[in-house]
């Protein structure tokens, strides 16, 4: 029987949409979700079904998962992909934006996993995939709220792996580097510099940082999806797996072994060449 997969954050042009198509290509039944279904383009794969799901709303999450269980009788894989960057200086972020970003990038993972876990535990089978980031381990200036949220995701993935192990529900944490997607365009649209910002002279650096993942060295999201889906569908005896790939992923892996002060100085020098 083919695997039933739920993917969050499947707006057209993003990595979630590519993950849906690759899972479908491998024969899975896929539920592509987004807060607004119209943001998900129709796919040529008949085994992809679009479904409204707002990861920041308990009722929406529970309703979507119950729909899947009623229709399919099971849920094998959950991909917690929904998220957004939060460009700008950390202390320029409004408290409202802080709460919304953490709810979308962090709390939503617990919300979706909490709703899915009882069904997986009942069958003693399941896989939770959390999409983190390399900046969750090596933070950079001008996207600090996103870095902090992905650091939380990294930690939560490991804790979930330990605590879900008794029910044979496994966790795959993915830490992408630079992946070609629509995340930078969305980040630019949502970014604004406060008039009284202490860091207004660094505005060009902030804009450059927002678009840092969309360079010639970025990995196409289709290639990213192939690697993640391949890892997800490969049988593993380990209750926790980690995958990092994409532009700068190898460099950031090396940086984890260097003295942290050295790394912070390097990150500041790299991302703060103000005009």
Q: Is 150 noted as a catalytic residue in this protein?
A: yes
CB 271 within 8 A of CB 212: yes
For residue 267, give the nearest of 176, 134, 112, 168 by alpha carbon: 134
Which secondary-structure segment (H or E) carries 150?
Answer: helix 144-164
Q: Annotated catalytic residue: which of 146, 170, 180, 202?
A: 146
Q: What are the beta bridge partners of residue 4?
A: 29
How far is it, in rounded angstroms, from Cα 165 to Cα 171? 9
The Cα–Cα gap between 244 and 217 comes to: 15
Other beta carbons within 10 angstroms of residue 150's beta carbon come to 26
DSSP 8-state class, residue 91: G
What 8-state DSSP symbol labels residue 136?
Answer: G
Query: How far apart, in Å, are the Cα atoms of 266 and each of 131, 167, 249, 252?
Result: 25, 43, 16, 11
In whole angstroms, how far apart are CA 223 and each of 178, 190, 253? 12, 27, 20
Let me know if 77 is exposed, middle or buried by CB neighbors in 10 A (0-12, 13-18, 19+): buried
Dist. CA 129–CA 77, nearest whole Å: 7
**Active-site residue 146, yes or no?**
yes
Question: Which one of the listed residues 150, 170, 180, 202 is annotated catalytic?
Answer: 150
Catalytic residues: 146, 150
């Amino acid at each position: 029987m083919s695997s039933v997969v739920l993917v969050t954050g499947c707006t057209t042009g993003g990595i979630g949409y590519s993950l849906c198509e690759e899972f479908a290509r491998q024969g899975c039944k896929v539920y592509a979700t987004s807060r607004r279904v119209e943001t998900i383009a129709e796919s040529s794969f008949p085994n992809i079904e679009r479904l409204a799901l707002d990861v920041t709303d308990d009722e929406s999450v529970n309703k979507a998962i119950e729909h899947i269980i009623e229709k399919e009788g099971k849920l094998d894989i959950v991909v917690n992909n929904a998220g957004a960057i939060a460009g700008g200086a950390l202390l320029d972020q409004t408290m409202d934006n802080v709460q919304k970003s953490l709810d979308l990038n962090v709390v939503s993972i617990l919300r979706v996993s909490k709703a899915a876990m009882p069904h997986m535990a009942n069958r003693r089978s399941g896989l939770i995939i959390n999409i983190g980031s390399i900046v969750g381990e090596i933070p950079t200036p001008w996207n600090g709220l996103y870095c902090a949220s992905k650091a939380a995701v990294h930690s939560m993935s490991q804790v979930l792996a330990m605590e879900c192990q008794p029910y044979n529900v496994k966790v795959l944490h993915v830490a992408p580097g630079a992946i070609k997607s629509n995340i930078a365009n969305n980040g630019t649209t949502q970014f604004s510099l406060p008039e009284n910002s202490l860091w207004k002279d660094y505005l060009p650096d902030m804009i450059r940082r927002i678009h840092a993942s969309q360079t010639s060295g970025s990995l196409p999201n289709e290639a990213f999806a192939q690697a993640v889906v391949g890892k997800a569908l490969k049988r593993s005896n380990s209750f926790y797996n980690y995958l990092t790939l994409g532009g700068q992923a190898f460099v950031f892996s090396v940086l984890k072994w260097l003295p942290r002060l050295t790394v912070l100085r390097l990150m500041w020098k790299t991302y703060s060449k103000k005009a």
